[in-house]
Structure 1
Amino acid sequence: MSKTLWCVFIALITYELFLLRVQGHCCCDQDDNEQIIGPLGRPGKAGPKGSQGHAGESGRDGRSGIGGSKGEKGEPGICDCSEFVVSQKLMTVELLTWTWISHESNIYGYKLFQEAKTYQQAMEACEAVRATLACVGMRIPTVRETVKSKVLRSSGSTGIWIGLDDLASKGHYVWLDGVVSTRENTDWAPDEPNGASERCVELRNSVHEMLNDIMCSDTFHYLCEKLY
């Protein structure tokens, strides 16, 4: 993605956040009926001063009347509960909780979930947030190193699940998107993979943060990946 398009993308997210803060957030009931949950309008301006009093027969003119009270606050805004608008707002908020990495024509979003799960449980958890265990970016050195520096090294996790295993055919590792593992696209630690019963793969926060085969029943934190 070009630098210009990336800047536009960031600007759109910032603008959406501003709108959410100023206009309130949308909430729809089960039938997608509109709910009045916008913020109250600003108070109206003060009313004009009263007219000047009449002069007495021998007295001076009376003083002007007191100014009118401020107008009442405006009515709350009405949410637009159409499916498209709601999904766009949810996506905008969601984008800010992922670590975004720009590479060529793609944008990869990563999120580390610090919950101990087995490999199968981690796969299902990523699918639940419309993502997959990280695999595409793990094959690209520049993306992989950025993920390590921005996500893994600051997490305190000893190891995390990524989307690579040999469950379909023992000894033949395949990434979750169907790409066959090779020495060129897989950052194995020295002498790995080496365990006959170790069929799944973790990204270590040790040994230079390289890949290690391990038993799928072990529990680790896991890294999900989204492509937009």
Structure 2
Amino acid sequence: MRTPQDRSPAPALLVIEDDDTIGRHLDTGLRSHGYSTTWCRTGSEGLAAADTGLPDVVLLDLGLPDADGIDLARELRSRHPDMLLVILTARTDEIDVIAGLDAGADDYLVKPFTLSVLLARLRAHLRRLPAGHGGRETAYRVGDLTVDTRARTCLLGDVEVPLRPKEFDLLAVLARHVGAAVSREDLMAQVWDENWFGPTKTLDVTLASLRRRLQQAGLDSRPPVDAPSITTLRGYGYRLDEDRG
């Protein structure tokens, strides 16, 4: 994988899988398709590799010998909020899938799966990342608003805005594309799940709560400041503007 001083243009993948056959198949297959791959067989090794190697994507098996996969997914997401996390699991119960996604996973694959399906999923995820993903910014400044995706902090003026996880993720996507229209579908895919088939009302509710929290933080700042406006684009989506709301 990459080091902070030497970032390879090839997407860096960390495979955390204790099964020798599956792990070797993934390691060999991904390398043959141009990915830079590191394979770890335990959760502790995988967590250490994620901290030092800065992978773009982690493929995480839930059935590890030394760690609960859901807990490990939650820890990985906490330490590395920008990384793509794909869960590999033999569990087919809906509750297990939901638990993995709620723990911070971006996607999941149920074993057995083919390499071609995994490659297609990876291409779909990586297409949505900004150009130069490996060296992309982690802090975005829009007027008096600063969103730091690595530290997962949001500051408006001199006030840290207390955001729920989905509120923060939603703001981070809008801040990353400041001044550009972002469709409802893209927001649902990036903040919730690309396979989301439920009502998108949850997006509107989250956005309304985000606006209220930003407005209150602006009033609490000394001196008071205005938050950048989040413009509703009827029939399309939303846009975070440089001008004040």
The alignment's TM-score, normalised by the length of structure 1, stands at: 0.27
TM-score, length basis structure 2: 0.26
- Structure with larger Rg: 1
| Higher helix residue share | 2
Higher relative contact order (CA 8 A, sep 6+): 1
